[in-house]
Amino acid sequence: MSHWEKKANGWVFISHASEDYEDVRVVRNYLEDRGFSALMFYLKSLEHESRKEQIKKLIRWEISARNIFVLCNSIHAQNSEWVQWESDYVKALPNKIYKTIDIVAFTDGKESELKKLDYLTKKATIYLSYTHKDKDKVDKISAHLNSLGYKVYDGSTALEGGDDIEEVMEQALSEAARNGVVLMFLSENAKRSKWFWDEKSRALHSGASIIPVVIDDVGIRDFPALRDKQFIDASKGLSDSILQLIEKEINYIDV
């Protein structure tokens, strides 16, 4: 099996002051119990001023790679140069989910503050159905949806680490049927792919909501079972407006 974090619901960077370490562990554990990969750490190398720029570079990489940023706010955090720098840095990045937990409020009870994080678990599961030959086009949409906090599944995940592809596919489709949608990418490549037609049949059988996305000059009528569904025309390319339209359609169905 693959490392569990490869299947995480989301990748969280937890920004905090070292003085709040024990309370922040509660936040991390809460997120991990709900399937998130949550990173909190104390770098001893922060004590060395000469390594400051190297450390900043490392932290930039890690914040950029994760789609969720959780600030554990406190008096200590407000007085921390590093926490303030991390917060300012992530606010300048596009498509990041930013949540604040008030560590000071933990003294009156942790539950109400921790429940602020439940919003993250309510994001829909998006199942991407496509043929591997269209992966370059689909990757842009996948990255965009990941950055917004959706749990994104595509067929390549099931092929990692010896997973049972049939079992993983069925589980992902079931989850999308319960809480999400299937984005089905239609193309000339898909029309000729036996794997795609099999996956399409499974998706229809699962009862999941399906949003067809046409990504080349193929006609929607070439896919009889999808003819009556409203589709997104991305045949001219995946512009920002197309990405926004896809997100809008997902949210419409998810509501």
Q: Where are the domains of the chain?
A: 4-120, 123-254
Do domains 4-120 and 123-254 share one topology? The answer is yes
The residue type found at 31 is L
123-254 topology per CATH: Rossmann fold (3.40.50)
Average pLDDT over residues 244-250: 82
Question: pLDDT tens for residues 84-123?
Answer: 999 999 988 876 788 899 999 987 888 889 988 887 766 6
Model confidence pLDDT, tens digit, residues 188-200? 999 999 989 999 9
What angle is formed at CA 96 by the lines to CA 44 and CA 252, rounded to 5 degrees? 150
Query: Between the CA of residue 48 and those of 41, 51, 54, 92, what are the distances in Å?
Result: 16, 6, 11, 26
- Return the pLDDT at 3: 44
Tens of pLDDT, residue by residue over 24-52, are: 999 999 999 988 889 998 777 767 778 88
Residue 76 has pLDDT above 90, yes or no: yes
Phi, psi of 43 (to 5 degrees): -95, 115
Tokens of 42: 């104390």
**Contacts with 249 (C-beta within 8 Å, 6 or more apart), sequence order:** 181, 211, 230, 232
Which fold would CATH assign to domain 4-120?
Rossmann fold (3.40.50)
